[in-house]
Amino acid sequence: MGTSDYLIVHVSPVGMGMSRWSVGHSHSERTICHINPHFRKEIKTMLSRRQFIEWCGRICLALGITSVLPNSAKAAVTQNGYHIPADYTNSLSNVEFIQQILTNPADTCRTIMWQTKKKLGTPQLEYRMIKSEQALWGQVSVDYLEQQGNGTFIYACRLTGLTPGADYEFRIANGSRATGWMPITTVHPGHFQMLIFADSQCENYSVWRNIAEAAHYRHPNAALATVIGDLTDNGQFYYHWKGWYEGAENLLKSHIFVPVMGNHECYDPQWQMCLPEGYLRHFVVPHNQSTRFPGYYYSFDYGDVHFIVLNNQFEELDGLKPGLYNEQRQWFLHDIRKNHCPWKVVLMHKDVIEYESPSPTQGDVYINEIGKNFMPDFETCGIDLVVTGHLHVYRNRRHILKGRPSDNGPVYVLCGLSGDQLYSVPISREFDKATAPQPENASYITLDADEEELRLRCYLTDGKLIDDMLLKK
């Protein structure tokens, strides 16, 4: 075979980000691609300069020698949707509050969200398998939220087609600037861990920061994290969201976040009831197919667990947007009956037990209206664990069936607080099987799950273990 049958690509750097490209034929040069003679004769007339650069880049991509390519060529090279990541020399430093949000299906999808004070001109999200020579662009949407004169641009990018069990990384780009690469971990088969916080609402969010940081560094491999409602003290105040995000910075970057709405997300700046605009804009959660209440409730599978995130802010919302309970209940019954995961776990903000008895005949506590509405369905549908918040105390009731303590039925755990708003709640002799040391302080839960076991542990901020419960199938 003669030398005329080979295409030689010469790449010579010329100045900042520029290269000179040429084609040659020689035994003394490295031959990198066999070319049909008829195609070789027509290559100069068939290809534009951009097409030629892209074509040559594809050769380099296939051969794994992309380091010789300039950024302009890397951006142009696409093959089955992939491109060669550019070498950004300038840091994109005005991006804040980066978070990974749970997306359905969780094993192949993820939503990345972030914020800026000034709108990015050409926001892009680039992702790839760890250290891969090939990357993809995600489609970025932009929203704008203004609270108390503070404007925030909120970006979201839903990634699809991820390989289950593979490790990915992403970065955010705008023009010639980009952040560093940050990890994404998809669902791995078998065991996983979830970090559970409740009521992180604060005045200055230092307590929230301390416990979020402690849990993150103590459990770096936890896949998921959630706050069971009342993330902030007031969901329509900019400075509350700012304080919450700053406290959760490392937690949100490193663990997939599962948002749950609470009643404090439904107050306006005058502390009157309002629709939860701030919450709904800050978190793009999985679709529930509702036209009236999108983002209010949802479900997802992760590993061997089916999670159902319910909304029980009826007192706050019914006067503004009625119908949530009835719509959500029909959705819940349909959702749970079509699911076949070994474990079923409910996350919802308000608790099922009332500790302020209106009369001596009801004993020290009683099942409240939330409990009366939800608990019969939980029993009928085989819910294993119900995690609640709202009362800012830790109480493990173990199994409750037909309104009484039992050896069977769903397990109900009131999961404490992660903020600085301390409440005084009496301990029930009948229901509360495990409690936190009194007076109450911030705590969090780890939930470990696999096909055969759910294990729930509760820790104080300093790492002291105060409860340990194992459920088996």
Asked whether residue 127 carries a pLDDT value surpassing 60, the answer given is yes
**Closest by CA position to 456, among listed 444, 442, 438, 439:** 444
Which pLDDT belongs to residue 123? 96
Q: How confident is the model at residue 66 (pLDDT cuts 50, 70, 90)?
A: low
| Sequence-ordered alpha helix ranges (H) in 273-323 | 277-282, 314-317
List the chain domain ranges. 3-83, 90-99+109-185, 192-472
Residue 19: exposed, middle, or buried by beta-carbon count in 10 A (0-12, 13-18, 19+)?
Answer: middle
pLDDT digits (tens, 9 = 90+) for 176-210: 999 999 999 788 889 999 999 999 999 999 999 99
- CA 332 to CA 318: how far, in whole Å? 19
Pull the structure tokens for residue 218.
Answer: 């103590």
The residue-averaged pLDDT of 100-129 equals: 96
Which pLDDT belongs to residue 187? 86
Q: How confident is the model at residue 52 (pLDDT cuts 50, 70, 90)?
A: low
Pick 157 or 48 by higher pLDDT.
157
pLDDT digits (tens, 9 = 90+) for 343-362: 999 999 999 999 875 554 55
Asked whether residue 48 carries a pLDDT value surpassing 90, the answer given is no
Q: Which CATH superfamily is domain 90-99+109-185 in?
A: Immunoglobulins (2.60.40.10)
Which pLDDT belongs to residue 133? 87
The model's pTM is 0.84
192-472 under CATH 3.30.70.1450, yes or no = no
pLDDT digits (tens, 9 = 90+) for 226-274: 999 999 999 999 999 999 999 999 999 999 999 999 999 999 999 999 9
pLDDT digits (tens, 9 = 90+) for 304-348: 999 999 999 999 999 999 999 999 999 999 999 999 999 999 999
Which pLDDT belongs to residue 295? 98
Q: How confident is the model at residue 23 (pLDDT cuts 50, 70, 90)?
A: very low
Asked whether residue 1 carries a pLDDT value surpassing 60, the answer given is no
Residues contacting 277, CB < 8 A, separation 6+:
145, 235, 236
Asked whether residue 135 carries a pLDDT value surpassing 80, the answer given is yes
What is the percentage of the chain residues whose pLDDT exceeds 90?
A: 75
Asked whether residue 70 carries a pLDDT value surpassing 70, the answer given is no
